Structure 1
């Protein structure tokens, strides 16, 4: 089995750092692998802890009494030099569970109030995002949102437009726009879900 022989932290940033992994593959060949991580030091990397603690939360919120619109954000991302459609999301703060993080992040990014649903753990436990590049994992929270849109909670560096997308707009976005993969899959799912049971794929208990 392949293994990591040594890990070296190469940056000193607040939210994201780079690590060089000196590796040995299954054939005995040495290599160098680069990993981005939210971990603050080598000891906190998931390859050392083997604990999948969520770094962030992704928020799947349906808006309105009919729950017929999905809360999306259209955000400028430096990595592509363009705007992309995503779900509201953010980091989980120390001492915060991901439901609390979802409520806080939706309020900050959109001004809306989020009402999370309690679902089976297999839907809400953290999953890895882009495992070839990072050990980051995120938990998904599901629920409804109401209230008025506001930009008051945005940070100075955030360039975000909130979109309350109905099924017609979702079809257009999928055909024409940059979309994150997780967001695209859930939008496709929403298109074909029974409008009377928009959370039918979850085992629901009201929180």
Structure 2
């Protein structure tokens, strides 16, 4: 089995840092592997703690009297130099659970009020996002949203447009726009759900 011989922190940023890993492959070859992480220090990396504590939360919220729309954000991302469709999301603050983080983040990014639902742990436990580059993991929360869209909670660096997308618009977005993978999969679920039974996939046996 491959192993890690040494880990070195190479940056000192607030939200994201880089770590260099001196590694030995299963065939004995030595190499250098780069990992981005929300961890503040080497001891906090998941490769050391082996605890999958979620760094962030992703919010799948339905809107409207008949829950016929999905709350999306269209956000400018420096990594692609353009806009991408995503679910509202954000970091889990110390002392928060997933639902509390979801309520806070949806309010900050959209102005809407989130009403989370309880689901089986296998649907809400944290999963890893882009494991080839980072140890980041996120939990998903599900529920309904209501209220009035507002930009009042946005930070200066956030360039976000709130989109309430029905099935027609979702089909267009999937065909024509940049979409995050996690958001795209959930949108595909929504397209083929029974409109009378929102979040049907969460209750399938």
Please indicate the TM-score interval, normalised by the length of the shorter structure. over 0.9
List runs of 5+ in structure 1 lacking aligned partners: none
The TM-score, its normalising length taken from structure 1, stands at: 0.98
Q: Partner residue of 1:104? A: 104
Aligned residue number for residue 6 of structure 1? 6
1:182 is aligned to 182
1:172 corresponds in structure 2 to 172
Contact 2:189/2:201, CA 8 A, preserved across alignment: no
Instruction: Show the counterpart of 2:68.
Output: 68
Instruction: Work out the CA distance in 1 between the residues paired with 2:199 and 2:158.
Output: 30
What is the CA–CA distance in structure 2 between the aligned matches of 1:64 and 1:190, rounded to whole Å? Answer: 14
Asked if 1 retains the 8 angstrom alpha-carbon contact of 2:149 and 2:162, the reply is yes
**Residue 194 in structure 1 maps to residue 182 in structure 2:** no
Runs of 4+ in 1 over 2 A off after TM superposition: none
Quote the residue 1:162 is aligned against: 162
> Which secondary structure does the structure 2 equivalent of 1:202 belong to?
helix
Pairwise CA distance, 1:202: 1.2
Counterpart in the other structure of 2:42? 42
What secondary structure sits across from 1:33 in the alignment?
A: strand
Q: How far apart, in 2, do the equivalents of 1:201 and 1:183 lie? A: 15
State the alpha-carbon separation in 1 of the partners of residues 98 and 198 from structure 2: 22
**1:25 equivalent in structure 2:** 25
Once residues 39 and 145 of structure 2 are traced to their aligned partners in structure 1, the CA distance between those partners, rounded to angstroms, is 31
Alpha-carbon distance between aligned partners in 2 of 1:202 and 1:117, rounded to the nearest angstrom: 11
- CA-CA distance at 1:201 after TM superposition: 1.2
Q: Quote the RMSD (CA, aligned, Å).
A: 0.8
Aligned to 1:88: 88
Q: Partner of 2:104: helix, strand, or coil? A: helix
What secondary structure does 2:200 align onto?
A: coil
- The answer to whether residue 141 in structure 2 is matched with residue 141 in structure 1 is yes
Gaps of 5+ in 2: none
CA distance in 1: counterparts of 2:170 and 2:181, whole angstroms: 14
* 1:203 Cα deviation after fit: 3.6
- Give the distance between the partners of 2:95 and 2:62, measured in 1 at CA: 27
